[in-house]
Each structure stands twice: as structure tokens, then as C-alpha cells.
């Protein structure tokens, strides 16, 4: 889009230069009035072929010859450039839509980010860092273009439309993140999404606390108030700077490739529970188990080595990315 805009500006400047040069030339060489000079220039470079406004002198004819030569060339180039731009835009839009449609149709267990504003950009960046499939839906052309330039899959559409959500593969999606500008739009998106797929995991942002209950009633699983969270973090950094630094370190991976992940204990064929110490997590993998989320929803913080884990449990672990992937492989091997 920026390239097209620059080409249009260049064409407009070239035409303006020719018209201005011709007008000034006729005023200086032939003594025309400003309007007569402009009119003479216009009919000359446009090759309309009207008669001369006033009879030209020899010097005027010489000047007009150069104006015809360069003016017609620039006019032809301008027409050709405009035609090329129109054709390129039409073809690019066609192929982009076709390519995007194929990529969306191939998505499974993906996430749909509705809105690419400040909050949406942060959510999309985290999904990209986690290397999970996701799709951005926004009705602002500049935002969609920015998302595509950032290497993300994005479409220009109205996220509040049921047709848009279907085209985004909501029936195959794992979750939806609603970060539109207004709470009303987010509420509408949640209602539409839950109507199409009741089991969809949904998180949303709110601008006012009064809408939190409405979002939950509509079906939102998680509701976030960015301004309240920001104020809380600003106070925490003053009261507990070292705790805040640690949390910031583990969530943003500042300095080292360290993060917090959740790993599901795979199902086994009647093998039964195993102990954490059997996995040798701390000694061999250098991974810290912060908590175990049991399949019944119970959360066990700082679990002991003899804590039992079973099918469907989740390990909340912290460590380097390579070690976390190794732990995931170990879990699969042990439960195989």
C-alpha cells in the first residue's frame, strides 16, 4: 500500500510539474494571462487538439513543441502507471484473498484474535512467540496490513459478523480473544462465537468493570481489565520490586530463554498414577515444578517429590525451552 501511495504521489507531482511549467512558459514567452496559459497548457498536453488561444510567435511555437514532446510522454506514462496500479491492486487483492482463504481452511486448533489494537497486538505477539496457529480479524485496513507485514495471518473483516467467524474457522478453533475497541463489540463477538461453538475457550478485555458480569454471562471464560491490571503492576513494582522482577523475568523471558509452561500428562492404558520423582525432573532436566493442576480442578502448589500425577493432570513448570520440550517427550514416553 505504501508503494502504491508513493507511485500515485510521483505521478501527481509529474503532472503538476508539466502543467505548472507550461503555464509559466506561456506567460513568460507569449505574455498570456494566467488562465489562458493554463488552458493552453491543458489542451496541449492532453492532445485534445483545440485551436491556439492566441496566435503563437516563433519562440512560442518552439516552446510549445518541447511542451508537446515532454508533456505527452508524461501523460502517457501517467495513464500507463495508473492502469498498472489498478491492475496490480485487483490482482494482488484476488491472490491475497485466495491465498489467505487456503491458509485459513488449513487451520485447526487455532486461536482467533478479534482486533489488532494495543491489546490485540500484545496477544498476537505472545501467540506468535508460542508458535501456535492463530488468525487476526480486524476491520481496519492499516492494522491488517501491519499484521501481515509482521508475518501474521490476518484478514480484513467485521469480527462481529457470524459469517466472518465461520470463514475464520471458528468451528475448528480452540479459542477466541476479543480485543475490540468497545465492550459492546466484544460482547457481541462473544455471543456470536458461543452460539456457533459453545465449547470454545474465550477471553476478552473490558474497558469498565460494570461489564465484567455481562461478559461472563455471555460466555467469556476469562475477563481482563487492562487498566486495572496496569495499575496493580505499577503498585507492585513499588512495593515488591524483586517479586515483580521475577514475574517479569519468567513471563517475558528477559535475559535467558526461560519461561513457564503447562504440560498435560498424557492418557495411558490403565497404567495408573506415577510420582514426580520417577521423572527425575529436577536432576536430569533442570526444570522446576511450580504446581500440579489435577484433572478435577484442584491446584497443588509446590508439590513434593512423592506427589502422584495421573491422566489429564497438568504440570505447571518453569525452565529453559529446550528442557521443557524434553520433559514433554519424557512424559509421552513414560505414559506410552
pTM: 0.61
Quick one: 200 and 289 in the same domain?
no
pLDDT in tens, 248-291: 766 665 455 677 888 888 887 667 788 888 777 766 778 888 89
Give the DSSP H or E segment for 293: strand 288-293
- Is residue 93 very low, low, confident or very high in pLDDT (cuts 50, 70, 90)? low
Quick one: 263 and 216 in the same domain?
no
pLDDT of 112 reads: 95
Give the DSSP H or E segment for 6: helix 2-30
Phi, psi of 199 (to 5 degrees): -85, 0
User: The domain that contains 136 carries what CATH number?
Assistant: 3.40.50.720
Report whether pLDDT(99) > 70. yes
**Residue 303 belongs to some domain of the structure:** yes
pLDDT, average across residues 323-329: 86
Quick one: 217 and 274 in the same domain?
no
Last residue of a domain, one of 102, 137, 165: 102
Quick one: 8 and 97 in the same domain?
yes
Last residue of a domain, one of 229, 263, 286: 229
Quick one: 71 and 117 in the same domain?
no
Q: Which grid cell sits at 209?
A: 468493570
**Residue 120 belongs to some domain of the structure:** yes
pLDDT of 75 reads: 82
Q: Which grid cell sits at 256?
A: 535467558
CA dist list (Å): 311 to 40, 101, 201, 303: 86, 37, 21, 17
d(CA 175, CA 169): 11
263, 335 Cβ separation under 8 angstroms: no
How many domains does the structure of the chain reveal? 3
**Residue 236 belongs to some domain of the structure:** no
Quick one: 273 and 173 in the same domain?
no
Quick one: 111 and 208 in the same domain?
yes
For the chain, give the longest Cα–Cα distance. Answer: 106
**Residue 243 belongs to some domain of the structure:** no
Residue with cell 474497558: 207
- Is residue 131 very low, low, confident or very high in pLDDT (cuts 50, 70, 90)? confident
Quick one: 121 and 202 in the same domain?
yes
Residue with cell 471458528: 170
d(CA 324, CA 317): 8
Quick one: 94 and 198 in the same domain?
no
d(CA 312, CA 66): 83
d(CA 274, CA 334): 9
pLDDT in tens, 224-233: 987 777 787 7
pLDDT of 318 reads: 86
Quick one: 31 and 69 in the same domain?
yes
Q: How many residues are there in the chain?
A: 336
116, 136 Cβ separation under 8 angstroms: yes
Report whether pLDDT(132) > 70. yes
Q: Looking at the DSSP assignment, which residues form a beta bridge with residue 211?
A: none
56, 64 Cβ separation under 8 angstroms: yes
Quick one: 124 and 98 in the same domain?
no
**Residue 58 belongs to some domain of the structure:** yes
Full residue range of the structural domain in which residue 266 is found = 249-335
**Residue 234 belongs to some domain of the structure:** no
d(CA 104, CA 157): 14
**Residue 237 belongs to some domain of the structure:** no
d(CA 204, CA 197): 16
Q: Which grid cell sits at 47?
A: 492532445
User: If DSSP codes are grouped into helix, strand and coil, which group holds residue 114?
Assistant: strand
134-138, strands of its sheet edge to edge: 154-156, 134-138, 111-114, 175-178, 201-205, 222-224
d(CA 143, CA 320): 33
pLDDT, average across residues 292-298: 87
Last residue of a domain, one of 77, 102, 127: 102
**Residue 235 belongs to some domain of the structure:** no
Quick one: 90 and 133 in the same domain?
no
pLDDT in tens, 101-115: 788 888 899 999 999
d(CA 251, CA 234): 16
User: The domain that contains 63 carries what CATH number?
Assistant: 1.10.287.70
Residue with cell 473483516: 157
Amino acid at each position: 500500500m505504501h508503494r502504491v501511495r508513493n507511485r500515485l504521489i510521483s505521478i501527481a507531482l509529474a503532472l503538476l510539474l508539466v502543467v505548472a511549467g507550461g503555464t509559466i512558459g506561456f506567460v513568460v514567452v507569449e505574455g498570456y494571462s494566467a488562465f489562458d496559459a493554463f488552458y493552453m497548457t491543458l489542451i496541449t498536453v492532453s492532445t485534445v487538439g483545440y485551436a491556439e488561444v492566441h496566435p503563437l510567435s516563433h519562440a512560442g511555437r518552439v516552446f510549445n513543441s518541447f511542451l508537446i514532446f515532454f508533456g505527452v510522454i508524461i501523460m502517457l506514462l501517467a495513464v500507463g502507471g495508473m492502469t498498472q496500479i489498478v491492475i496490480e491492486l485487483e490482482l494482488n487483492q484476488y491472490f491475497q484473498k485466495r491465498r489467505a482463504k487456503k491458509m485459513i481452511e488449513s487451520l485447526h486448533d487455532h486461536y482467533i484474535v478479534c482486533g489488532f489494537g494495543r491489546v490485540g497486538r500484545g496477544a498476537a505477539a505472545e501467540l506468535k512467540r508460542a508458535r501456535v496457529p492463530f488468525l487476526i480479524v480486524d476491520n481496519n485496513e492499516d492494522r491488517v496490513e501491519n499484521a501481515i507485514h509482521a508475518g501474521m495471518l490476518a484478514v480484513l473483516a467485521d469480527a462481529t459478523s457470524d459469517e466472518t467467524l465461520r470463514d475464520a474457522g471458528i468451528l475448528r478453533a480452540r479459542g477466541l480473544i476479543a480485543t475490540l475497541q468497545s465492550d459492546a463489540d466484544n460482547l457481541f463477538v462473544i455471543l456470536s462465537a458461543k452460539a456457533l461453538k459453545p465449547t470454545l475457550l474465550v477471553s476478552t478485555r473490558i474497558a469498565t468493570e460494570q461489564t465484567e458480569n455481562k461478559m461472563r454471562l455471555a460466555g467469556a471464560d476469562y475477563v481482563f481489565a487492562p487498566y486495572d491490571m496496569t495499575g496493580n503492576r505499577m503498585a507492585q513494582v513499588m512495593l515488591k520490586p524483586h517479586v515483580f522482577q521475577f514475574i517479569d523475568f519468567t513471563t517475558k523471558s528477559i535475559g535467558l530463554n526461560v519461561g513457564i509452561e503447562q504440560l498435560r500428562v498424557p492418557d495411558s492404558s490403565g497404567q495408573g498414577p506415577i510420582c514426580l520423582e520417577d521423572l527425575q525432573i529436577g536432576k536430569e532436566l533442570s526444570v522446576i515444578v511450580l504446581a500440579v493442576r489435577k484433572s478435577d480442578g484442584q491446584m497443588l502448589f509446590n508439590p513434593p517429590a512423592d506427589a502422584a500425577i495421573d491422566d489429564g493432570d497438568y504440570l505447571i513448570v518453569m525452565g529453559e525451552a529446550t528442557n521443557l520440550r524434553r520433559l514433554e517427550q519424557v512424559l509421552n514416553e513414560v505414559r506410552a
